[in-house]
Amino acid sequence: MSDGSSFYITTPIFYVNDVPHIGHAYTEVAADVLARWHRQAGDDTWFLTGTDEHGQKILRTATANGMSPKEWADKLVAESWQPLLNTIDISNDDFIRTTDERHEVNVQLFLQRLYDAGFIYTGEYEGYYCVGCEEYKQLSDLEDGTGQYEGQLVCKIHSKPVELLKERNYFFRMSDFTQPLLDLYESRPDFVQPESVRNEIVQFVKRGLTDLSISRQTFDWGIKVPWDETHVVYVWFDALLNYATAAGYGYDQEKFDRLWPATHIVGKDIARFHAVIWPAMLMAAGLEVPKQVYGHGWLLVGGEKMSKSKLTGIAPEQITDTFGSDAFRYYFMRAINFGQDGSFSWEDLSARYQAELANGFGNLASRVIAMVTRYHGGTVPAAVESALTDADRAIRATERRATKAADEAIERLAVHEAIARVWELVDELNGYITLQEPWVLAKDPSQADRLATVLNTAVHGLGTLTVLLSPVVPEAAAKLWTALSGTGSVQDQPIRSAWEWTGGARVEPLEALFPRIEVDAS
């Protein structure tokens, strides 16, 4: 197992029954910012994402589109899911598909080991099944349908009727792990976060766990149960194992030992699978449980969870085509407290783009580069010790304080808070320039030392910002790093000591990082 120096982070693997919307992209960006930060911190980082391609939902969608499930999955992955990663600038190290041989073979290996150890048995089950969730539901998870579904029980998440199924399946003895899971939650209070999700999980397990049906006979799109090929593996049991099979489980023990355990970033609606079923599976196999499961909130549009079926799904490119990938990444990480639900609106996106990115950070960068060019011929002046003031020292102190505070927030997965701490330096630098008035100093030859010190302080603060914001706005950071003649690549700069960055003797021209956008108000 990992010695603790690695940082293995995952998103859920997403169903390929439809194209991505901004809810999927939100999860991807959050995990990506965390991965980029840890890479820049020098941690052994591995970032996994991918697609979930088995199960009844995929089979039905493919059939409705006149394709085999594999043809449908191939099409969606190639045309939608992998292009999404480029659209929002995701730096994943691996992309796993549950139809990959490395996954299918080692799911069977894992299952066989549990069967041989006595954790799997045959039995009958009857219950309400939601195809959208690919899960049997308790009555508390259902509600009375309205409109066209009046008189039927519907899933609270999907608002669609559930099906009453009765099957003879293989079962996993999950009930054996009720107390071990409760002990886990108590001994590691941060295992499930945020607190609201943790409390819900603990209460669910305290009610007692039932054994889990882990195979299906009514359809054949899935991984075959190794000792009985008339059954396919339950899609969630199959899907959860992606985190292990991608990390080398069953075929690359050295890699698995280096990476495992993982930090899982998931939507709160699937936290139960990751914080209950998944650790129980791992315990049964004698493997270490995940490092952490973080169930973030939902993106809401018009007060409802993002959903293609409810026509509230917004494609990421609808935003990036106008505002760019950096603005997409910044907005969703800054505007929404990670871990809580958050509402998206075009008005808020446009306002934040203009106020925070264009006028705040972008204008700061343009002003500093322009002033060094105008007042010092493009050469970055050295600070003059005798001209230093408390205002200059305060900026240097803020560089260190913001770096430390942001890193501490990242350790708690509080991405929004990390950006807020960095933005304190943006605001302070803007205020510093306004108060120091370098345009006035430049007119007085006797203030040459003071002007040099102000410009040096501004450039240094801007470079620190560039390093700190690289995980969030990588495209803008790379452009600004070039303009500052930063040493090497900005992505290679040690982020936990961002204020120690070094650059060349001159600044280079800089195009607007966040150009003005005219948004059609009609």
Here the tokens at position 458 are 């501004």
Residue of 56 and 348 predicted with greater confidence: 348
Whether 24 is catalytic is: yes
Whether 479 is catalytic is: no
**Pair 155, 247 in one domain:** no
**Pair 126, 111 in one domain:** no
Domain that holds residue 133: 120-172
Whether 103 is catalytic is: no
Mean pLDDT of the 405-413 span: 98
**Pair 444, 360 in one domain:** yes
Is residue 309 predicted with pLDDT exceeding 90?
no
Whether 195 is covered by a domain: the verdict is no
**Pair 266, 371 in one domain:** no
pLDDT digits (tens, 9 = 90+) for 100-126: 999 999 999 999 999 999 999 998 877
Cα distance between residue 464 and residue 407, in whole Å:
14
The answer to whether 340 and 303 have CB atoms below 8 angstroms apart is no
Is residue 497 predicted with pLDDT exceeding 60?
yes
Provide the pLDDT for residue 521. Answer: 44
**Pair 375, 450 in one domain:** yes
Chain center to CA of 204: 26
How many structural domains compose the chain? 3
Catalytic residue among 75, 160, 224, 308: 308
**Pair 254, 107 in one domain:** yes
Whether 404 is catalytic is: no
Catalytic residue among 54, 137, 155, 479: 155
Structural domain ending residue among the three candidates 319, 354, 388: 319
Mean pLDDT of the 49-63 span: 93
Catalytic residue among 21, 291, 376, 416: 21
Cα distance between residue 10 and residue 31, in whole Å:
7
Whether 223 is covered by a domain: the verdict is no
Confidence band for 519, pLDDT divided at 50, 70 and 90: low
Here the tokens at position 37 are 């930060």
Detail the residues annotated as belonging to a binding site for Zn(2+).
Answer: 130, 133, 155, 158
pLDDT digits (tens, 9 = 90+) for 255-288: 999 999 999 999 999 999 999 999 999 999 999 9
Detail the residues annotated as belonging to a binding site.
Answer: 130, 133, 155, 158
**Pair 371, 471 in one domain:** yes
Return the CATH number at 20. Answer: 3.40.50.620
Q: Which residues are registered as beta bridge partners of 142?
A: 155
The chain-wide mean pLDDT, for the chain, equals 94
Whether 198 is covered by a domain: the verdict is no
**Pair 99, 160 in one domain:** no
**Pair 440, 403 in one domain:** yes
Confidence band for 520, pLDDT divided at 50, 70 and 90: low
Return the CATH number at 482. Answer: 1.10.730.10
H helices present in 120-234, as ranges: 178-187, 195-206
Whether 512 is covered by a domain: the verdict is no
Whether 227 is covered by a domain: the verdict is no
Catalytic residue among 54, 130, 264, 376: 130
Whether 158 is catalytic is: yes
Whether 56 is covered by a domain: the verdict is yes
Whether 75 is catalytic is: no
The answer to whether 69 and 58 have CB atoms below 8 angstroms apart is yes
Catalytic residue among 160, 224, 255, 305: 305
Whether 199 is covered by a domain: the verdict is no
Whether 155 is catalytic is: yes
**Pair 152, 290 in one domain:** no
Provide the pLDDT for residue 313. Answer: 75
Whether 324 is covered by a domain: the verdict is no
**Pair 368, 458 in one domain:** yes
Structural domain ending residue among the three candidates 131, 148, 172: 172
Q: Which of 84-93, 117-126, 148-157 has the lowest mean pLDDT?
A: 148-157
Is residue 473 predicted with pLDDT exceeding 90?
yes
Cα distance between residue 20 and residue 316, in whole Å:
8
**Pair 129, 106 in one domain:** no
Catalytic residue among 57, 103, 133, 376: 133
